[in-house]
Structure 1
Amino acid sequence: MADFRLVQRQRLVLPDGSTVDRFDSSGSPPGTPVGPWVSLGRFCVDITALNPPPSPGEVYRYFQTLPLPDLPTQQQPPGNALAGLPVVFYTDGPTTQTFTVDIRGFTVDIVATASAFTWDTGDGTVLQTTDPGAPYPDHTISHDYRSGTYTASLTTTWSGTFSVDGGATADVPGTTTTDGPPATFTVLQASPVLTNPFD
């Protein structure tokens, strides 16, 4: 990055009240400017080192503060479940987010992607997946429960890429996480009941 600079100087009254080139100081105190500005030259100066582009580590610090969504835990069947039948988990929140931030005058585009999902089923089991799941019958995440009441929750890990002023894309050197609102449900124990089909 280059910048055009015009270098000028102006004479000042010296501590003894005199001036260079005997300009009239009119009794002005030391440090008072006298005479016209004098041009010393015009230069193109490389100022890249004075304000370098954001480093990956600097972008990562911004990445950790982005308002990423807290993906919710969804479960099927909604409401109560039955012991012996799996509970299906998924999230229906956005898994990709794009942000544009200003870092020291540079325009930085960041794309955050949900890259890992940690499901706490509420009964001591933790499931790790790389997909957000889906509702039945396309589900990929499910868990079997005994009867009881449980609270399941989801922690999402976000990865990212970035570019500076429309340049090449690079990976954000680190991840961040968000915790979504949990889901509480009751698993009921079904009991068989004999009935007379002729009643």
Structure 2
Amino acid sequence: MVSRRALVTDGPDVGAVAGNWAVVGSRCVDVTELNPAPTPAEVFAYFQTLPLPQLTTTVQPPGGTVLVGLPTIFYTDAPTEQVFTVDIRGFVVVITAGAQSFTWHTGNGDAVVTSDGPGAPYPDETVTYDYTSGTYSTYLTVTWGGTFTVDGSAPVDIGGTTTTDGPTVQLTAVQAHAVLTNPYD
């Protein structure tokens, strides 16, 4: 059996306008309304899910034993600013999260110490607490806020805050007792 192919020559030229279409003109169409930039509410929703650090509490004196009658010093030396780049619907969003406040849970009932900075070690201590005898679990809650940019725009404040809790630190507060000794023994 022999197959024959026929060349079709009837019909419009390739690329020609078919039907009752006419070229009226050309223009650019702004598609921004079809995909608007992320709103502050959208960015805040992402902000709340970021893996923000859980800052560790450092205590002085070190070692987990503190003295009754002497201030216990709290501070953290962990970074208090984090930068995240996320993609929201095709837009590059850079979120800069910064620690705004620090709440030091002393483990002594509802007693907390708040500060707007990360504290400092001795001799520049800025966050202290005086314990009575006992055992305590202390930790740090950090409130984070920040700004964001969309595709390199000017920074805009994030419309809210979120918090992280650091790991607990176990402390034992002991009473120091004076002991008289004979220097000639």
TM-score, L = length of structure 2: 0.84
**Per-residue deviation, residues 140-178 of structure 1 (Å, max 9, x unmatched):** 001111111111110000011011110111100000111
Closer, same or farther: CA 43–139 of 1 in aligned 2, 3 Å: same
1:57 aligns with 2:41: yes
Q: 2:70 aligns with which of 85, 99, 103?
A: 85
Taking the aligned partners of 2:48 and 2:161, their CA distance within structure 1 comes to: 8
Taking the aligned partners of 1:106 and 1:87, their CA distance within structure 2 comes to: 47
Partner of 2:114: 128
**SS of 2:28's equivalent?**
strand
With CA pairs under 8 Å and 6+ residues apart, which has the higher RCO, 1 or 2? Answer: 2
Q: State the 1:49 CA deviation.
A: 0.8
**Per-residue deviation, residues 92-149 of structure 1 (Å, max 9, x unmatched):** 1110001111100111111000010011101121111100001111110011111111
Q: 1:116 aligns with which of 91, 101, 107?
A: 101
Partner of 1:143: 129
Partner of 1:104: 89
**SS of 1:44's equivalent?**
coil
Taking the aligned partners of 2:124 and 2:178, their CA distance within structure 1 comes to: 29
Taking the aligned partners of 1:37 and 1:181, their CA distance within structure 2 comes to: 70
**Per-residue deviation, residues 40-96 of structure 1 (Å, max 9, x unmatched):** 554421111110000111100010011110001110001211111111000111100
- The one-letter amino acid of 1:96's match is E
Structure having the higher strand fraction is 1
1:47 aligns with 2:31: yes
- Aligned residues: CA RMSD: 1.9
**SS of 2:99's equivalent?**
strand
- The one-letter amino acid of 1:61's match is A
Aligned residues: 167
- The one-letter amino acid of 1:98's match is V
Unmatched 5+ stretches in structure 1 = 1-22, 25-35
TM-score, L = length of structure 1: 0.79
Q: State the 1:198 CA deviation.
A: 2.6
Unmatched 5+ stretches in structure 2 = 1-9
Taking the aligned partners of 1:140 and 1:88, their CA distance within structure 2 comes to: 8
